[in-house]
Amino acid sequence: MKKSIASRAVAALLATVGFATSGLAGPYPAFTDVANQVQPSQVQSWAAAVVDYSPAPGVDAAFANPSVALGSNDGVGVSLGDLEAAQIATGVLPGSITLQFSKAIVDKAGPDLAVFENAGEFFSAPYIFAELAFVEVSSNGTDFARFPSVSLNIEPDDDDVLETDELTVPFGRNFAGADTTNIHNLAGVHPSGIGTPFDLAELVAEFEVVSGSVDLSAIRYVRLVDIPGNGDSLDSLGNPIVDTWLTTGSGGLDLDAVGALNVPEPASVALVLLASAAFVWRRVRS
């Protein structure tokens, strides 16, 4: 995430404008809301293998080692890269990474997995320096279901930047802050050391799940797909997604780790539960 002096100046200006309307919070929890955070201690299993790493062109070698995304979070990330306008126009694919788990992730109550990134706390909450990505899951490594996402941030016209009465949902390009209360089911909204939660239950209506090609009781693959934040990518409702764009060097999402919060019960525990259920059933019958 490289910044110039000019970028910092623009960031300060846009952030100030944004704070003037910070009372207009969006419908989702801010990144500072503890109920919307995952701590490393909550993780039951970490990604164990890199299946594919296909960054966008231009990622510096220092940020292009996908193995750093394996195991527990440590503050070191691998970058997916960002796309320039010309690359987007010609159909260059955004960067992505696919990780495999040795234990299945299962759908239980509450969030089932978490993505650890390193969004920058350069502004006052709920704003954060955000490089966003879609999150997809698979049980067979071939068919992936994408979490339905929402991004309500908009980018004001340049002529309106100083018109606070027109800047109703502030967003800052040029390294200014994105309002996290307007973002749902996208990775990249929490600072280093805090995971963004994802609940498999939100995928029950997706085609891949309904058709049976993705089994929410046996998820073994998680894929992150970077979002070039110029507004060409759309959320599940058809809204343009904007984030800090264009970033270079360590551009795009910087993935630290992916953790499973819910895994299958150990066989011994399952047997105890089964035996207990059988005992209760016999007591009821007698």
User: Going residue by residue through the chain (286 aa), what tens digit of pLDDT does each one get?
Assistant: 443 333 333 333 333 333 323 446 899 999 999 999 999 999 999 999 999 999 999 999 999 999 999 999 999 999 999 999 999 999 999 999 999 999 999 999 999 999 999 999 988 899 999 999 999 999 999 999 999 999 998 875 544 443 444 433 344 455 668 899 999 999 999 999 999 999 999 999 999 999 999 999 999 999 999 999 989 999 999 999 999 888 999 999 999 999 999 999 886 445 545 556 665 556 556 5
239 assigned to some structural domain = yes
95 assigned to some structural domain = yes
14 assigned to some structural domain = no
- Name the 3-class secondary structure at 135: strand
80: number of Cβ within 10 Å: 30
Q: Spell 219-228 as b/e; 16+ CB within 10 A means b.
A: bbbbbbbbbb
69 assigned to some structural domain = yes
Q: Any idea what DSSP says for residue 63? A: G
- Name the 3-class secondary structure at 125: coil
> Which domain range does residue 69 map to?
31-153+182-285
Chain Cα centroid distance, residue 186: 4
> At residue 282, what are phi and psi to the nearest 5 degrees?
-65, -40
243 assigned to some structural domain = yes
197 assigned to some structural domain = yes
Chain Cα centroid distance, residue 253: 9
99 assigned to some structural domain = yes
162/181 Cα distance (integer angstroms): 22
Residue with tokens 């309500």: 152
Structural domains counted in the chain: 1
- Identify the CATH number of the domain in which residue 142 sits: 2.60.120.260
What does R_g of the chain's alpha carbons equal in angstroms?
Answer: 20
236 assigned to some structural domain = yes
